[in-house]
A and B are shown apart, each in its own frame.
Chain A
Amino acid sequence: MVECDFPECNTFGSVIRFALELEKGASAVYEDLAKEPLAASAAETFKALSAAHKKRGELLEFTRQQKLNEMILEPIQDMRREDYIIDTKTPKGVDVKAGAKFAAKIEETSAKFYSDSAKIAKNLMAEAARIMDKLGKESLANKAKLEAL
């Protein structure tokens, strides 16, 4: 299990930090699931999703470095941290169905986080909003993929 330190979502930096923690957590969960003997038939899918979440983390780091514009650094007051926290304690001994169900919940929460943060980022930085939006859509696609397992 990986420890995630989810901050309050009240600045651009803390929203990105939250997203980075979320990606770190999701990637670790998939890594754990890929090692589950009863879920071996989906190991490749879980490994691929773990790698995808790592890549998303890199994209977020890039966003923080390149897209920040201090002219429009408004405080963010409409996002509640509690609404987006994911469970990263991967259950042990799960089969494909149970593992996928657990991960699908993470993707669902991620999708909501990115969708909400994209709406807020749209008012601040359209470029950042586009990235959040893309990540949210990817999470929904991941959820659908998991539900089909």
Chain B
Amino acid sequence: MALLSEVKKDYGKLKNFVNGEWVDSTSGKYIDIENPTTGEIIGQVPMSSADETKAAIDAAQEAWWAWRETPPITRARVFFKLKEIMEQHIENIARIMVQEQGKTIDEARGETRRTIENVETAAGIPSLMMGYNLEDGGAEGIDEDAVISPLGVFGAVCPFNFPAMIPYWFWPYAVATGNTYIIKPSSQVPLTQNYLTKLVEQAGFPPGVLNIVNGSHEVSDTLMEHPKVKGISFVGSTPVAKYIYKHSAENGKRVQAQGGAKNSLVVMPDAVLDRTISNMLASFYGCAGQRCLAGSNLVAVGNVADPLLKSFVERSKKIKVGYGLDESVNMGPVISAKAKQKVLDYIDGAEREGGKVLLDGRKIKVPGYEKGHFVGPTVVDNVTPDMKLAKEEVFGPVVGFMRMNSMDEALDFIHSSPFGNAASIYTQSGKSARDFRYRCQVGNVGINVGLVAAMAYFPFAGYKDSFFGDLHGQGQDAVKFFTDRKVVITRWF
């Protein structure tokens, strides 16, 4: 099967997008963007300075009032236009994502679809941001209204695993509600956002409404500290999420900070094994395990353990690893050499702690891609709750197989984790499913679904150390995060 073509071999030096113009960074500092599959350098991203970030904030502030005065239906129309343009570019968006991130083309196409869904949802803003009122709510002849208003400039600090979608959990809602926005894409995967912003430019948003500032901590810290920025959205690891939450809050910002995860998939004895395993393969190995909703611990309850493990390992062996631009590839590499080493260290550590590596992806060779950061599907048996592999986020295609006696024991284990992002149960029993969804203290619960990825019109939830803040990305939560209620009490003499 021939590879799908790459959109470009080399994307050159990226620019920032500020006040409606593509501008070269003045910092003079650039880092390479690596294709994690081939090891090729496919572009350079600037490490913008604090001053450049401040200029973007000023541009966003300057653009805010005119945009806030633009009627919601007119703002929505620009999003309809953006959706139309994005539909024409789906394949390019997806292929750039494969090139810089390493995921498979199906995953990238799926991510692009979800990105567009957020634009579609935000385009419903005239209905989504309606306020409420009560005649005679104050007293006879005195009416009371709650008006939903935008606040000003917001910013997002974004991760590497979903280069297109995650910024779109936030900015379409922020801008549709009448705010202006600054995105700092991940410096590992800035190309997709760069391409998408060229489409945003064509859609007709006024200058300064959406700005892109590439870079690292200097950009993030400036966004968090600047008095004109009203709020920060973040997705990444828990330690950084904690820092972002604390530092932004100290500076008076609203914050929504999504952190790490350690998700368990619980298989009950009555699960439909064949379908369960197919579904779990997608959860454990999708995006090479680099997603905060990825399955990580496979918890077998009772006598299902042996047949489940045998079949799961057999089917894991058939996962085809390679370049995501080959449509028949099931799994790509992890993002970098450093990320690969971290995953390998976890597997080594699990072995030292008594785990039995039944399927070993450490030494995988992918012909033609010797410089790729590949880790093959890995299954470790005899994992116990006290082992690092059971407790810590690996962010790679590694399955910790655990045996438990009951759902209660599985739930106790899930609740012992500091994380609370997602958990799933596979069962044919309505009672077990009901008990699980009722009792499980995580933000996203799956019933016979291993990837509990909320659609655009639902919040992307998360509990405990997996989320810091109160209002999540996407849907109504996002609308609330980017707006405030203004109460107006009216009396006419």
Q: Which residues of A contact B (CB under 8 A)?
A: 5, 7-14, 17, 64-66, 68-75, 77, 123
Distance of B307 from chain A, by nearest CB (Å): 17
Q: How far is the CA of A12 from the CA of B279 in the complex (A)?
A: 14
Which B residue sits closest to A21, measured CB to CB? B1
In the bound complex, do residue A14 and residue B328 qualify as a contact, i.e. CB atoms below 8 Å apart? yes
Structural contact, B327 and A68, CB atoms closer than 8 A: no
How far in angstroms is the closest Cβ of chain A from B62?
38
Chosen A-B contacts, 11 in total, with CB atoms closer than 8 Å, are A10-B330, A11-B104, A11-B329, A11-B330, A14-B328, A64-B109, A65-B87, A68-B113, A74-B282, A77-B278, A123-B275
Distance in angstroms between the alpha carbons of A7 and B329 in the assembled complex: 10
Partner of A13 from the list B87, B106, B285 (CB cut-off 8 Å) is B106
Shortest distance from the beta carbon of A103 to any chain B beta carbon, whole Å: 26
Q: Does B453 contact A (CB under 8 A)?
A: yes
Whether B14 sits at the interface, judged by CB under 8 Å, is no
Cross-chain contact A70 with B453 (CB below 8 angstroms): yes
Point out the residue from B278, B285, B328, B453 that lies within 8 Å of A71, measured CB to CB.
B453
Please, what's the 1-or-0 string for B145-158, where 1 marks a CB less than 8 Å from any CB in chain A? Answer: 00000000000000
Q: Of B278, B328, B449, which is in contact with the most chain A CB atoms at under 10 Å from its CB? A: B328
Is B42 part of the binding interface, using a Cβ–Cβ cutoff of 8 Å? no
For residue B107, CB closer than 8 A to chain A, the reply is yes
Please indicate the chain B residues that have their CB under 8 angstroms from the CB of A72 in the complex.
279, 282, 449, 451
B318 at the interface (CB under 8 A from A): yes
**A7 CB contacts on chain B under 8 angstroms:** 1, 327-328
Q: Is B315 an interface residue (CB 8 A)?
A: yes
CA distance in complex: A77, B312 (Å): 12
Q: Looking at the complex, which one of B109, B114, B330 makes contact with A75 (CB distance below 8 Å)?
A: B330
By a CB distance below 8 angstroms, the chain A residues around B107 are 70, 73
Q: Are B1 and A74 in contact (CB under 8 A)?
A: no
**Given A72-B282, A74-B279, A77-B318, are A11 and B328 neighbors across the interface (CB < 8 Å)?**
yes
A7-B328, A72-B282 known; A13 and B109 CB under 8 Å?
Answer: yes
Quick one: given A11-B104, A65-B90, are A73 and B329 in contact (CB under 8 Å)? no
Any A CB within 8 A of the CB of B200: no
Measured in the bound complex, the distance between the Cα atoms of B285 and A145 in whole Å is 45
Ranked nearest first, the 8 interchain pairs of A and B with the lowest CB-CB distance are: A70-B110, A7-B1, A14-B328, A13-B106, A13-B327, A8-B328, A74-B278, A14-B327
> Does residue B2 face the partner (Cβ distance < 8 Å to A)?
yes
* Chain A residue at minimal CB-CB distance from B110: A70
The answer to whether A5 and B330 touch across the interface, beta carbons within 8 angstroms, is no
A residues near B90, Cβ cutoff 8 Å: 65
A37 to B104, CA, bound (A): 47
CB–CB B327/A75 < 8 A? no
Considering the complex, which residues of chain B in the window 54-106 have a beta carbon less than 8 Å from any beta carbon of chain A?
87, 90, 104-106
- Residues from chain B with a CB closer than 8 A to the CB of A123 are 275, 278
What separation, in Å, do the CA atoms of A75 and B2 have in the docked complex?
19
A-contacting residues, B238-279, CB 8 Å = 275, 278-279
A120 to nearest B CB, angstroms?
9
Does B281 reach chain A (CB closer than 8 Å)? Answer: yes
Residues of A within 8 A of B453 (CB): 70-71
Q: Is the CB of B327 within 8 A of A11?
A: yes
Q: Check A73 against B275 for contact (C-beta < 8 Å).
A: no
Report B-chain residues with C-beta under 8 Å of the C-beta of A9: 328
Report which of A13, A66, A74, A75 forms a contact with B105, defined as CB distance below 8 A: A13
Known: A14-B327, A65-B87. A75 touches B1 (CB 8 A): no
B320 within 8 A of A: yes
B281 (CB) vs chain A CBs: closest residue:
A75
* Interface contact B281-A74, CB-CB below 8 Å: yes
Residue of A nearest to B275 (CB): A123
Nearest Cβ in chain B — how far from A74, in angstroms? Answer: 4
Report the Cα distance A55→B1, complex, angstroms: 24
Smallest Cβ distance from A58 to chain B, in angstroms? 15
B residues within 8 A CB of A64? 109
List of A residues within 8 angstroms of B330 by Cβ? 10-11, 75
Cβ of B286 under 8 Å from chain A: yes
Which residue of chain B has the shortest Cβ distance to A12 in the bound complex? B106
Interface flag for B111 (CB, 8 Å)? yes
- Are B327's CB and A77's CB within 8 A? no
B319 at the interface (CB under 8 A from A): yes
* Cα A73 to Cα B327 with chains together (Å): 13
Q: In the complex, how many angstroms separate the beta carbon of B446 from the nearest chain A beta carbon?
A: 9
How many angstroms from the CA of A38 to the CA of B90 in the assembled complex? Answer: 45
Most chain B beta-carbon contacts within 10 A, residue among A17, A69, A75: A75
Residues of B300-332 whose CB lies within 8 A of A = 315, 318-320, 327-330
